[in-house]
Chain A
Amino acid sequence: MYKGIYEFANIKVEINSLYEYIHKMCAKYKISNNEDVKYVINITEDDIKRENEKSKGQEYIDFPLYYLETLAVYRKFLAFSIFENVFLFHSSSFMIDGKAYIITAPSGTGKSTHARFLSEVYKERFVCINDDKPLIRYENDEFMVYGTPWNGKHGLDNNVCYPLKAIFVLNRGEVDSVDKMIESVAFNFIFSQVHKPTGKDEMKLIINLLSKMAHSIHCYLLKATNRIEATEASRKIIDNKN
C-alpha cells in the first residue's frame, strides 16, 4: 500500500493505493497537515477491475493498472464530494483576469484548442485551471472552479481556484459566433457534462446544484472555427467587465 494526504477543492482526503503512480500524479495537491482529514479512499483489486470493465468499449482498451487506479480514486472521491457541494464538470477551465471560464463540449470538439488560442491571446493574464476534469465547488453563493490532477491528455492543471464567470458550450462552426443560451437549454448542456454520482440523495443534490448554476452563471453557445481568430467571439464575453 502507498499512502498520501491531499486536498482537492478544499476537501482533505487520505489515499491508500496499490500503485505509486497516483501519488506522483497528485504531488501538487499533497498536504503535510493531516488534521481534519474527513475522508479515506482505500483502493482494492476489485476497484481496479471495475474500472477496467468500464473502460472497455472506449478508444483505448489496454490501460495500465496504475492508470485505472487513478480513475478509481477519482470515482470514489466524487461519490462523497457531492455532499460537500463539489462535483466534476467535464471541460477545459482557465482563469483570465481573476475570473474562471469553462469551455465544455463532447470529447474531440476542440475545447483544449480554443483554450490554447485564448492563452496565446491573453498571455500572462491566462492561467490554466484544468484542461479536462476540474472540480466545481458551490460555496458562499458562488461557484468556484478548482484545479485537479485529472487533467486530460495534455497534462494541464494548476492547484488554484477562481470564481466561475461564464460557461461556453463549444460547437465547431463555419463562422465564429457567441450567443447567450436560455436557462433551460443551458441546464441541458450542463447536466450532460457533469459526472453523476449514483444514489438518490446524490442525484437530488447534483440537480439542485446544476439548477442553481444554470440560473446564476451565464452560459453561451460558442460556434468557433479551428483558428485563433475564433477567439474574437469568446473575447466579447471575457472582455466585458460587467
Chain B
Amino acid sequence: MKLREEVIIAPNNDEAIMADASGKFKGMVKLNETAAFIANLFYEDISEEEAVARLISEYECSIDQAKEAVKFTIEKIKEAGLFE
C-alpha cells in the first residue's frame, strides 16, 4: 500500500492533517500523533504487517494495539481515497 503522489501530511497544533493536493479529494483526514506516524509510513509502498512492525519498534505498545491502530488508520485513508 502506498499513498498517492499528491497526498500531504501537515502539522496542525497537536494533530496532523492529511489532504490531497491534486484537487481530486476536497476533504481532509485528521490524525493524532500515532495515526500520523502510521500514515507517514505509507509514503513508502509497504504492507500492513510491515507498518505494524515499524509501529511496535517506535512506540511501546502490544501487537494487538499496533494492529488495531494500523487497521484503523488504513481504513481512514482508504475511505478518503488517498491510497494509489
Q: Which residues of A contact B (CB under 8 A)?
A: 183-184, 187-188, 191-192, 196, 198-200, 202-204, 207-208, 211, 215
Chain B residues with CB under 8 Å of A183's CB are: 13
Is the Cβ of A207 less than 8 Å from the Cβ of B19? yes
- Residues 21-79 (chain B) with a chain A CB within 8 angstroms: 21-23, 26-28, 30
Is the Cβ of A198 less than 8 Å from the Cβ of B12? no
Asked, given contacts A191-B28, A200-B6, whether A211 binds B12 with beta carbons under 8 Å apart, the answer is: yes
Chain A residues with CB under 8 Å of B12's CB are: 187, 207, 211
Chain B residues with CB under 8 Å of A187's CB are: 12
Is the Cβ of A196 less than 8 Å from the Cβ of B23? yes
Main secondary structure of the interface of A (DSSP, over half): helix
Alpha-carbon distance between A200 and B4 when the two chains are bound, in angstroms? 12
Is the Cβ of A207 less than 8 Å from the Cβ of B15? no
Among candidates A188, A200, A211, A215, residue contacting B8 with C-beta atoms closer than 8 Å = A200
Chain A residues with CB under 8 Å of B1's CB are: none
Is the Cβ of B13 less than 8 Å from the Cβ of A203? no
Which 7 pairs from chain A and chain B are nearest by CB? A203-B21, A207-B10, A198-B23, A211-B12, A200-B21, A204-B10, A200-B8
Judged by a CB distance under 8 angstroms, whether B17 is at the interface is yes
